[in-house]
Structure formats: structure tokens, C-alpha cells
Amino acid sequence: MTHDEQAEREEALVQRVVDSFAGAPDARLRQLTQAAVRHLHAFLREVRLTEAEWKQGIDFLTAVGHTTDERRQEFILLSDTLGASMQTITVNNPADGDATEATVFGPFFVEDSPRIEHGGDIAMGAPGQPCWVEGTVRDTAGAPVAGARIEVWEADEDGFYDVQYADGRTTGRAHLFTDDEGRYSFWGITPTPYPIPHDGPVGAMLAATGRSPMRASHLHFMVTAEGLRTLVTHIFVRGDELLASDSVFGVKESLVKDFVEHGADDPTPDGRDLGGRAWSSTRFDVVLGRG
Ligand code: BEZ
Ligand code: FE
């Protein structure tokens, strides 16, 4: 068979499969399935996938499924490490004026976090260097947003979120509301790097391809306010050497913030006694896009 005849056979098969979805009554479902088939076949044909590789791929996806349960979502981790989560966020959050950029949600958000007042402490005993965080929430016209709900969550300095411990603790997370001038402030802990869960098939994929599971140091935010676009994002630490190699591609330059180091003798913004410990501070001014 000539090269052209082989290509014709392959193309005819792609067309037959695409056509098999032509009668889907839902137009969007038709578009999604037909495009997925076209891209999948383009991949198979481009790399000339061997049958052994096809089997390996099936075994990999089967392992991803077996690793997934109510506590562990290995498929989302796969999406994250392939940049698919970040691409979906990018597609769905077009620039709106100077609205703050979004990034990955991650698996460690928990509903019903404790409420704190301004200047409260989200660490609640989590180990780490105290970090003062303050800022404002505004809309794209520059008006302060009062009563915006700010959810914050972060790993401790050992690299674990509270939900990764078996003892049911609630640490390193809380929510608070902006005041009448759109301001907020709280004590957290200075973010430190940690690895995404890498003891499963996604971790094996990273190891086999020479990639690191480490995430750049970050502090998660979710900001919601009536009539405005919900923002799911994090802030990163300027100078962190992992900024360029974050394992889930979550870093955006606009989200990299200065974390200023303060000595133990520096007075704290709210007069809090830190028991002789050094601390850091940062500022994150949020702009919410239109809803
Ligand atoms: C996180 O930042 O918490 C996270 C994001 C994606 C995958 C794993 C963890
Ligand atoms: Fe995280």
C-alpha cells in the first residue's frame, strides 16, 4: 500500500467516527464529541502510537481511576499537571479591565471554614512563620467592595494542609468579610513550597518524565461578592525559585507578591505579641471582574 493510500484509510476512519456523532440532538455535545475525536485521532496518527503504548495508556488511565475516591481526585491532578485546568481557567476568565487574574482551585478547599474578624489568625496553631496579609477588594471601576467574602487557605510549613492529617484538625484556613471601605487583614503563615500528592500514577508520570511535583509557595484566596465575578486565585512569593517550574502551571506574574521579612523586634501592624518570633508581611489588592 502506498503512503497516500494509508493516509486515505486513516482519514476515512476519522471521518466515519466524526460522522457517527452527527446526529447528536444537542449541538454542543455534537461539537465536543466531534472535536475530541478529531484531536484524539490527530494525536494517534502524529505519534504513530504502537499497540503496546495504547495498552500502557489504558493501564495508566485505569490506575488514575482506581486512585480516585471521595478524598483523592487523581483525574483533577492529571488535568492540573497537564495544564488542562489552567487552560480551562484561562479560557473562561478573559481579561476584564484590571481584574485580578485567576488560577487553579486545587483539592484542599473546605466548605464551612471558621470565620475570623479583621486581624484574626487563620493559622490556628499550624506551624509556620507568622505572616500579616492585608489589602482591599474593589471593582473594575475602582469602587471599594464592602462585605466581600474572602476565603483563605494554605499549607503549613511542613507542606501539609489540615485535611491531609488524620486527626480532623482545622488549621490554616478561615473566611472574613471586607469592611465598608473594602479593606481586609489577617494573620496567616509565610507560604512555603510543598509537593502535590505524588504517590499515585500522576506522581509516577512526573517521575518518568523528569518533572518535579513541587508547587511554588502560595496562599489561596476565593473572593465572592454579590453581582461580581467570583475570583479563585493564589498569591505567590517573589524570589521563590519554584515560580518558573510550578507543577500545575498556576503562576501568573501579576500574582507574585513581595513578602517583606521583619525581625522579631519590629512592631507588628496590630500590636500583636508574636512571642519573640520574626514575621513577614504582604499586600494583596483584589479587583473583581464584572459578574
Ligand atoms: C494546591 O495548590 O493546593 C494544589 C493545586 C493543584 C493540585 C494539587 C494541589
Ligand atoms: Fe495549595
Instruction: In whole angstroms, give the CA distance from residue 40 to residue 27.
Output: 20
Residue 46 grid cell: 502524529
| Nearest protein Cα to ligand 1, atom 4 | 106
Kindly indicate the confidence band of residue 171, based on its pLDDT and cuts at 50, 70 and 90: very high
Share of the chain above pLDDT 70, in %: 100
Q: pLDDT tens-digit profile of 174-193?
A: 999 999 999 999 999 999 99
Q: Cα of 195 to ligand 1 centre, how many Å?
A: 9
Ligand 1 within 6 A of 215 CB? yes
Give the residue whose CA is nearest to atom 7 of ligand 1.
106
What integer pLDDT is reported at residue 29 of this predicted model? 98
Cell triple for 42: 490527530
Predicted local distance difference test score (pLDDT) of residue 240? 97
The CATH 2.60.130.10 domain(s) of the chain lie at 85-288
Q: Where are the alpha helices (DSSP H) in 48-83?
A: 51-67, 74-81
Out of 19-23, 56-60, 106-110, 218-222, least confident range: 106-110
Cβ 77 under 6 angstroms from ligand 1: yes
- What's residue 100's pLDDT? 97
Q: Is the minimum distance from the CB of 99 to ligand 1 under 6 angstroms?
A: no
The structure's pTM equals 0.92
Residue 97 has a pLDDT of 87
Ligand 2 mean position, distance from CA 40 (Å): 31
- The beta-carbon contacts of 14-17 under 8 Å, at least 24 apart in sequence, are 14/38, 14/41, 17/41
Among 3.90.79.10, 2.60.130.10, 1.10.260.40, 1.10.10.10, name the CATH number for the domain at 85-288. Answer: 2.60.130.10
Note the pLDDT of residue 2: 93
What pLDDT score was predicted for residue 94? 83
Residue 71's pLDDT band, with cuts at 50, 70 and 90, is confident
- CA separation for the pair 52, 54 (Å, rounded): 5
Q: How confident is the model at residue 45 (pLDDT cuts 50, 70, 90)?
A: very high
